[in-house]
Structure 1
Amino acid sequence: MVYLQPDSTEISTIYEQYIPKIQTNDILTIVVTAADPKVTAPFNPLSTMATSNMTQAVDLALRPTYTVNENGDIVLPMLGKIKVSGLTRIQAIEKLRKELSQYIKDPGVNINFNNFRVSVLGEVARPGSFILPTERVTVLEALGMAGDMTIRGVRQNVLLIREVDGQKTMQRLDLTKQETLNSPYYYLAQNDVIYVEPNKAQINNSKLGANTNIIISIAGLLITVISVLTR
């Protein structure tokens, strides 16, 4: 099964054109840093489970998360409501740095998605949902996480379902053609769903299997009835 068969298509995919934007209901982890850690304390409230002896990794895990509300805002300590929907992660970082500059000299800000999830269904080895540590992921990488398509999957008609601002869109991708690399759907966004449909042979086998089970059940019932009547 050959993916992305070479042809005369000019590859012009630029990730920066398709960087996922922050949407409502996204969950963000935000950490503020500065030369003097004490001045960042009001902006980095720890969980009540935090202790002074915890490791840095555990400390970061206990940082609070912020859910983007229906108006596209998050609410931060001291800063109040900040609109972040429609921004990329880098744009949101720059916006928060500007807001924090009135309280902190040269603040550093790190924002990560806590719920950047994609789902891969259908004719793949391990279908399921995957929470990713980064928002830079392609449809091929997602299929790789799901163990790749089975030999019964239709590579020429992979369905990608995406929701933006409550609107669902569907796009078909032909993964045997190089032009797919230029698709705006090649790079995934949060909550994308990839569905790999089965080929005709698999569909027919499924129908045959279902019909076979029915025939066996009916035959078993008839044999039982005949056995009882002929005793």
Structure 2
Amino acid sequence: MRQSFLFLLILLVSASCSNRNLAYFSDLRQQGEYKEQITNENEPKIQPDDLLSISISSLSPEATAVFNRGVQTQISSSNASSHRNIDDGYLVDKEGFIDFPVIGKMKMAGLTKAQARDKIVKELQQYLKRPTANIRFLNFRVTVVGEVGRPSTFTIPSEKINVLEALGMAGDMTAYGKRDNVLIIREEGGVRKMARLNLNSKETFNSPYFYLQQNDVIYVQPNSTKATQATTDLRFATLFIGLTSTVALIISRLY
């Protein structure tokens, strides 16, 4: 009886596997070149809790040192806590501000890096000659979980990544991952957003969620075959434990 059941289960699993579409973008033409204009590549915006690296340069190196962390200055004791190693970065507070040396509180949330750079440079022009600013995210990372080879959180030095690259870093989807229903979780402007991508379709390329932002989470959901397998394994385990307990009880009474 048990062998017949297992045989039927294997047949059902095999049938379901044969019907699954494991190819990405299977609706693309098999031959020839495919082109389309990229319109959904948006530069990430600074958000509360982001950690920013900000380095300043100008034609006056000595005066510039005041605005770079890790340099001892004589401006005032109240600003001493701001002068740490540059790798510490500037943490954007819950209201979206950073505490910048000499200038003080500056609103960064909602700005792109280019906009933040222009804002800082404008403020610095009253202190420095021809200042420039370089800004980087120190916490640009994405998390990939679910039916992938190596679920993990990945730091992205280039600050640019799409969902396919993230899946590649995580070892790609397993054969049980639902390619037509990949969940993207994003927090932006105090709002948590969720969207599902169909990676069997080329329309994913045009989604605003194709290019990831800092702290995005990708969840690859298991298909019905994996869910059924997990349920079946649990039932077998429960049955085995119950049977073992019964046999142990019988043996204890016999001896």
User: Normalising by structure 1, what TM-score?
Assistant: 0.88
The answer to whether structure 1 residue 69 and structure 2 residue 89 are counterparts is: no
**d(CA) in 2 for partners of 1:182, 1:230:** 71
Kept after mapping to 2: 8 A contact 1:44/1:63: no
Residue in 1 that maps onto 2:238 = 214
Higher relative contact order (CA 8 A, sep 6+): 1
Q: 1:3 aligns with which of 21, 24, 29?
A: 24
Deviation at 1:202, TM superposition (A): 0.8
Aligned residues: 219
**d(CA) in 2 for partners of 1:213, 1:47:** 62
**d(CA) in 1 for partners of 2:98, 2:152:** 30
Q: How do residues 167-206 of structure 1 correspond to structure 2 at under 5 angstroms?
A: 167-206=191-230
**d(CA) in 1 for partners of 2:40, 2:89:** 27
Cα RMSD over matched residues? Answer: 2.0
Kept after mapping to 1: 8 A contact 2:121/2:131: yes
Q: Deviations over 1:76-111 (max 9, x none)?
A: 011111111111111111111111111111112111
Residue in 2 that maps onto 1:40 = 64
Residue in 2 that maps onto 1:150 = 174
Deviation at 1:134, TM superposition (A): 2.7
Letter in 2 for 1:4: F
Look up the SS of the partner of 2:56 in the other structure: strand
**d(CA) in 1 for partners of 2:252, 2:91:** 67
Kept after mapping to 1: 8 A contact 2:69/2:86: no
Q: What's the % identity of the aligned pairs?
A: 43
Give unmatched runs, 5+ long, in structure 2.
1-21, 73-84
Q: How do residues 88-99 of structure 1 correspond to structure 2 at under 5 angstroms?
A: 88-99=112-123
**Which one has the bigger helix percentage?**
2
**d(CA) in 1 for partners of 2:193, 2:101:** 36
**d(CA) in 1 for partners of 2:71, 2:178:** 47
Look up the SS of the partner of 1:152 in the other structure: coil
Kept after mapping to 2: 8 A contact 1:33/1:108: yes
Kept after mapping to 1: 8 A contact 2:53/2:86: no
Letter in 1 for 2:201: K
**d(CA) in 1 for partners of 2:187, 2:87:** 28
Aligned CA distance change for structure 1 residues 47 and 142 (closer, same or farther; 3 Å): farther
User: Normalising by structure 2, what TM-score?
Assistant: 0.80
Q: 1:13 aligns with which of 23, 33, 38?
A: 38
Deviation at 1:15, TM superposition (A): 5.2
Kept after mapping to 1: 8 A contact 2:185/2:218: yes
Letter in 2 for 1:11: E
Larger Rg: 2
Aligned CA distance change for structure 1 residues 11 and 122 (closer, same or farther; 3 Å): same
Residue in 1 that maps onto 2:139 = 115
Give unmatched runs, 5+ long, in structure 1.
49-60
Q: 2:54 aligns with which of 17, 20, 30?
A: 30
Look up the SS of the partner of 1:214 in the other structure: helix
Q: 2:105 aligns with which of 68, 81, 85?
A: 81
Q: Deviations over 1:169-196 (max 9, x none)?
A: 1100001111100000111111111000
Letter in 2 for 1:24: P
Deviation at 1:151, TM superposition (A): 1.1
Deviation at 1:226, TM superposition (A): 1.1
Kept after mapping to 2: 8 A contact 1:47/1:63: no
